[in-house]
Chain A
Amino acid sequence: MTALLDMDRLLDDLEAGLRKKLEERGVTSPALIGIRTGGVWLADVMSKRLGLQEPWGELDISFYRDDFSRIGLNPKVKPSSLPFSTEDRDIILIDDVIMSGRTIRAAMNEIFDYGRPASIILATLVDLGARELPVQPDVTGRVLALQSHQRVKLRGPDPLHIELQETGK
């Protein structure tokens, strides 16, 4: 597991994938948005690696979650912060792990409340499959197949590392 999840290699792959995708799309000045918490650490790293001048934004999707009616409001919600207008911008949306796709659905709804972006590229460090919505990343560091009782979580910010969790079932 450790060898498979060498963080430097994952980040290299994510960076290379993003550069390729930006070139394909002809995007020269993207605005980077990380989803709290793991995605924000990655936004910080990728912003430096891609040499972006503009500060990155952070999203807390608590107000857009689709399980509010089942579990209530996240008690640890923090303000989202986008230090740029999303109107007509090419956005890179970044998160640590994609699974059901529900977080990304919520994040895209939130982004649109700040203005209509020209495009969104979705980048995730790890793709665990098990999708419940038709949402796919454009760029991903690694696709992993876990057993049903296993989860992964990005820990950080310094150093960034991926933790394998057993849910005990």
Chain B
Amino acid sequence: MTANDPSSTSLQLTADGQLRHFLTLDGLNRALLTEILDTADSFIEVGERSIKKVPLLRGRTVVNLFFESSTRTRSTFELAAKRLSADVLNLDINTSATSKGESLSDTLLNLEAMASDMFVVRHSQSGAPHFIAESVTPGVAIINAGDGRHAHPTQAMLDMLTIRQHKGRFEGLKVAIVGDVLHSRVARSQIRALNELGAVEVRVIAPATLLPRDVESLGCTVEYDMARGMKDLDVVIMLRLQKERMEGALLPSEREFYRLYGLNREKLALANPECIVMHPGPINRGVEIESAVADGPQSVILNQVTNGIAIRMAVMSMAMGGQMAERSRRQEGRAQA
């Protein structure tokens, strides 16, 4: 399975074009991406109320199925599901049945037998959520919370929401993604979203060893020199140096990386004065970003976390709504037959 598999479109969308799974941004057009952002805007307002809950997923069961650990993503998905009034089950698979030898299919069958309505899946293998979406019972929604090097669509969408909040638009924006693009599933989803939403230029800034082959084919320009790359930027997105994914010696040293590609005040001064600084977290201070920048006035890193809850509420309620609408159409069809 590749990132551009055309079958993902029909898998993700109902016949009416409603979302029913959320696996990848591939095949989702600007109108649908904008609908996700607009819906998330409404959920941000819910987060400011005295009762931060709406009844959309009341009586539904959401299973957080994390085959790979993650604190922030899992807790924001959990909070998002709870604010939609769903019941939430958190499963860390590395510590449970699969370590006793149960296969993925058997684990899923057992969870489906508990009448789950939605699986939020994180997996180190690219394509795992896609595989689950193809094999799961009709009516159950699958949300991709990050798969291998393939995609991390909710992270990319919360970044888009943060950019829209601060810039008000995408047209004409120059955005750079800096650092370990090779191991980053977020970068792929971000490049896709920025292109679809109309950014004028998406730049990746990284050493050649941390760029995938044919990176330009994703829809971006490449810059190896950070000082040149920072020029005219409206948004700079720093990626975490994924030490746990490093295979072999891709870098001379962390210090050397920070000197060349770390974001400090001097380099940020080369961008537009209103340039915002983003980072998906967790940040490695002094490895890819200087503390004074991460905590500085141009940083919107904590807004990203807040927006993450709203974006996850949006895609969960849209996908569940699509599944339920499809289910009731099936029942009507059966009643008429």
Is A79 a contact of B41 with CB atoms below 8 Å?
yes
Contact of A70 among B35, B55, B318, B328 (CB under 8 A): B328
Is B55 a contact of A64 with CB atoms below 8 Å?
yes
Contact A109/B55 with A73-B317, A77-B38 known, Cβ cut-off 8 Å: yes
Q: Count A interface residues, CB 8 Å.
A: 23
| Chain A residues with CB below 8 A from B54, complex form | 63-64, 113
Contact of A73 among B39, B46, B51 (CB under 8 A): B39
Closest to B53 in A: A113
Q: Within the assembled complex, what's the spacing in Å between the Cα atoms of A71 and B322?
A: 8
Complex interface residues of chain B between 78 and 101 (CB less than 8 A to chain A): none
Contact A68/B51 with A63-B46, A81-B45 known, Cβ cut-off 8 Å: no
| Chain A residues with CB below 8 A from B50, complex form | 87, 113-115
B interface, how many residues as a size bin?
20 to 34
Is B324 a contact of A68 with CB atoms below 8 Å?
yes
Closest to A109 in B: B55
Is A70 a contact of B46 with CB atoms below 8 Å?
no
| Chain A residues with CB below 8 A from B39, complex form | 73, 75, 77
Closest to A114 in B: B49
B162 vs chain A, min Cβ distance (A): 17
Closest to A66 in B: B55
Contact A113/B49 with A72-B318, A73-B317, A78-B42 known, Cβ cut-off 8 Å: yes
Is B35 a contact of A75 with CB atoms below 8 Å?
yes
B interface residues (Cβ-Cβ under 8 A, vs A): 18, 35, 38-39, 41-42, 44-46, 49-51, 53-56, 317-318, 321-322, 324-325, 328
Given A68-B56, A70-B328, A71-B328, 15 more contacts at CB 8 Å?
A68-B324, A72-B18, A72-B318, A72-B321, A72-B325, A73-B39, A73-B321, A75-B35, A78-B42, A79-B41, A79-B42, A79-B45, A113-B49, A114-B49, A115-B50
* Listed A/B pairs (28) with beta-carbon separation below 8 Å: A62-B42, A63-B54, A63-B56, A64-B54, A64-B55, A68-B56, A68-B324, A69-B324, A72-B18, A72-B322, A72-B324, A73-B56, A73-B317, A77-B38, A77-B42, A78-B41, A78-B42, A79-B41, A79-B45, A80-B42, A80-B45, A87-B50, A113-B49, A113-B50, A113-B51, A113-B53, A114-B51, A115-B50
